[in-house]
Amino acid sequence: MFAEGLSAPQVAAELEISTKSAYAWRRAWKVGGEQALASRGAPGPDPVLSAAQVRKLIDRMEQGPAAAGWDEGQRWTLARVRTLIGRMFHLTVSITTVWETLRRAGYTPQQPVHRAAERDEQAIEHFKRYQWPAVKESRAGWARGSASPTSPASR
């Protein structure tokens, strides 16, 4: 756009960016050409685990915690994944790094559903359909009361 002769404010309006950014981009373009405007990637440090290591980690996680040596509680936690990373790659990483790695791999936080093993779905449906409506009946027919000793409702 700058090569076509557009001004920084015109570029800003066209790309819906700030004028200040457009002027900075124009200065960079004048000094280094189109390469100066190329993306440098996401800011911040490089990921601790390579893409190949993340694939290996995910493959191992898909086998479940029992396959990785945890007997109780068959759920992956950040602490367990952190330990697994240490065992597999001999790296010590923070919980935040584990979270970011899993987030980039497409994992989302999950809250486990705790339900009793003895849960009876048919009994629950029967209660909700037949008993709950009777318990929940309208209070419109009730006589309204008052805690005030001078109220006519309390005489």
CA pseudo-torsion sign 39, 40, 46, 52: positive
AA letter at 133 = P
Same domain, yes or no: 97 and 57: yes
- Give the total number of structural domains in the chain: 2
CA pseudo-torsion sign 78, 81, 83, 86: negative
- Concatenating the DSSP letter of every residue in 29-46 gives HHHHGGGGGS---SSSSP
Query: How high does pLDDT run on average in the chain?
Result: 86
In the predicted model, what is the mean pLDDT of residues 46-72? 91
AA letter at 57 = L
pLDDT exceeds cutoff 60 at 50? yes
Range of the domain at 29: 8-37
The token pair at 11 is: 């570029």
Same domain, yes or no: 56 and 33: no
DSSP 68: G
62 in any annotated domain: yes
Same domain, yes or no: 26 and 60: no
26 in any annotated domain: yes
Banded model confidence at residue 120, pLDDT cuts 50, 70, 90? confident
122 in any annotated domain: no
pTM of the model: 0.50
The pLDDT of residue 26: 93
Domain end, chosen from 104, 120, 143, is at 104
The pLDDT of residue 153: 57
Same domain, yes or no: 26 and 59: no
115 in any annotated domain: no
The pLDDT of residue 147: 66
Going by C-alpha positions, the residue among 43, 41, 45 that lies closest to residue 97 is 45
Same domain, yes or no: 96 and 56: yes
Same domain, yes or no: 59 and 97: yes
142 in any annotated domain: no
73 in any annotated domain: yes
Note whether 88 and 56 are within 8 A (CB).
yes
pLDDT exceeds cutoff 70 at 51? yes
97 in any annotated domain: yes
The pLDDT of residue 109: 84
Banded model confidence at residue 31, pLDDT cuts 50, 70, 90? very high
The winner for highest mean pLDDT among 90-104, 105-119, 127-141 is 90-104
Same domain, yes or no: 100 and 56: yes
C-alpha distances out from residue 3 to 11, 63, 99, Å: 11, 55, 43
The pLDDT of residue 113: 66
pLDDT for 62-104, tens place per residue?
998 999 988 887 889 999 999 999 999 999 999 999 999 999 8
